[in-house]
Amino acid sequence: MGEPSAPLAAATLNALVGVDLAGATTPGRLVTGHTNQNAGVLWADVSDEFYDSWLDHEIPFDQVHGHASPWNWQTNQFWPGTPRAIQERCQVQHHLRRTVAQLGPAPSSRTGTATCVDWNLGTSTNHRTWPTLTFSHISIYT
């Protein structure tokens, strides 16, 4: 299938349009309360089913995601059960309301970052500001 890359990931995802994605809905800890390393992306817990699976694998490119963060903005601490390894690799950017986690085997030239722009899960209802996500460089793949 070739060397992992952002264009290959985009092409792989685009090829899934219209395909039955039953595997994406395989329940994980968010549904069952039990960790499932085969949880689908829709129901995987960010810390122990999503990030944890990337700790020892090379990450060929940085990723931005939303929906869930290892940090609970309402309690101002990591969600209960967040593995220590994730906590140690996660930088909480309070002023931007996002987390940046260094994933992959460290140190490595193939260590990637996962930036979570989750601003709502676990947050109080009176906080409505979501800072703009900007990049210092960007590549467009067509």
Domain chopping of the chain, boundaries:
24-116
Q: What is the pLDDT of residue 123?
A: 47
**Tens digits of per-residue pLDDT, 16-51?**
888 888 888 899 888 898 888 888 877 888 888 888
Long-range contacts of 134-137 (CB under 8 A, 24+ apart): none
Q: What is the pLDDT of residue 92?
A: 92
Higher-confidence position of 1 and 85: 85
pTM of the model as a whole: 0.71
Report the distance separating Cα 117 and Cα 96, nearest Å: 9
Report the distance separating Cα 129 and Cα 119, nearest Å: 8
- Tell how strand 112-116 and strand 63-65 pair up: parallel
Answer yes or no: are the C-beta atoms of 52 and 87 closer than 8 Å. Answer: no
